[in-house]
Structure 1
Amino acid sequence: MSEHQYCPRCASPLDMREIAGRVRRACPDALCGFVHWDNPLPVVAGLVEYRGQILLARNAAWTEGMFALITGFLERDETPEDGIRREIKEETNLDARAISLLGVYEFMRKNELIIAYHAVCDGDIALSEELAEYRLVAPERLRPWRAGTGHAVAEWLRRRSLPIEYVDSARLSIAAD
């Protein structure tokens, strides 16, 4: 559950109460009525296909060798398709010319709901400061991981009748030579 301690409306300390069959943080002031529902956040993810290969990126905050799909939070008044186009452009400078839905996946560890797309992209790669590096991986060498966006990778491989061999983490998402 989220770590909210105080009501964002009236600044009263939040209580833990059963509401709608679940324990929630709620304002004790009956006139305020604030309840922190702690719903999952919508995140968009893009399996970026670039010149016949798949682009995997390493976030600047991640350890060496950890690569994954392009992801970001959906913004207010933005469709998921517009959100992934924006994220791909912001993070890689690529333009998505074709987008198709891969699926919607839970990522309970981070309380997120991932809306994943396959995006065929053009342009010249220029990473934002958010990303440290990228790799281009031949589709037949791509390996899904067992959490979050790894399920989207598996779905993309399945649709192309490519072998699906799961690895333990995104750190090992490329087949060894």
Structure 2
Amino acid sequence: MSAWRFCPLCGAGLQVRAVADLPRLVCGADCGFVHWDNPAPVLAALVEYHGRVVLARNQGWAAGAFGLITGFLERDEDPAAGVAREVKEELGLDATAVTLIGVYPFARQHEVIVAYHVRAEGEIRLNEELAEFRLIAPEKLKAWDFGTGLAVSDWLARRVP
């Protein structure tokens, strides 16, 4: 449950009540506010660049921790266009093909991951969010058992060399 305590509309205290048979925070003064607390949609890109997969390390991550390119879906944005935008923003690369890998729950971060295989070209130029990148041959890529690693596992299982 969220850490919200007060209604953002009227300032009354929030209470846990069943809404559509689910526990939700609702305004105690009954102004109509319901904090739905739904997971955020996150886009993930398994970027294939010159036959290799790009893994990147976020500035805030520990040394040696690498992952896929990710970012939040913007309002009114098509997810496939959004993942191409994220690849352009974070790596400076242009998407030439975008294919859905799958959709994965990521309860630990309160997110839903929409993962794509993105073929890209251009010159890699990291933005300020990323510290470094690695290019991994697909046959040496190893999936991890949470978050975007589930998409890596599915992509590797379906991949035709």
Correspondence for 1:103: 102
Give distance in 2, aligned partners of 1:63 and 1:27.
40
Q: Distance in 2 between matches of 1:6 and 1:126?
A: 43
- 1: distance between equivalents of 2:159 and 2:73? 28
* Runs (4+) off by over 4 Å: none
Question: Structure 2 CA distance, aligned partners of 1:89 and 1:12?
Answer: 43
* Corresponding residue of 2:139: 140
For 1:84, the equivalent position in structure 2 comes to 83
1:61-76 matches, within 5 Å, as 61-76=60-75
Structure 1 CA distance, aligned partners of 2:140 and 2:68? Answer: 15
Q: Letter of the aligned partner of 1:5 in structure 2?
A: R
Q: Separation in 1 of the partners of 2:72 and 2:6? A: 24
C-alpha distance in 1, partners of 2:23/2:119? Answer: 43
Question: In structure 1, how many angstroms separate the alpha carbons of the residues matched to 2:93 and 2:3?
Answer: 36
> Root-mean-square deviation (CA), in Å?
1.2
Q: State the secondary structure of the residue aligned to 1:58.
A: strand
Matched residue, 2:150: 151
2-side partners of 1:11 and 1:124: how far apart?
51
Cα deviation 1:11-63 (Å, max 9, x = unaligned): 22211222222221111122x21111111111110000000000000110111
Q: Aligned residue for 2:18?
A: 18
Structure 1 residues 56-81: Cα deviation after superposition (integer angstroms, max 9, x where no partner): 00110111111000000000010101
Unaligned 5+ runs, structure 2: none
Question: After alignment, is 19-28 or 108-117 more displaced?
Answer: 19-28
Identity %: 56
What count of residue pairs does the alignment treat as equivalent? Answer: 161
- Report the equivalent of 1:46: 45
Q: Which has the higher strand share?
A: 2
Q: Output the CA distance in 2 between the equivalents of 1:152 and 1:74.
A: 17
CA distance in 1, matches of 2:9, 2:140: 51
Mean Cα displacement is larger for which, 119-128 or 14-23?
14-23
SS in 1 for 2:133: strand
SS in 1 for 2:60: coil
Match of 1:34 in 2: 33
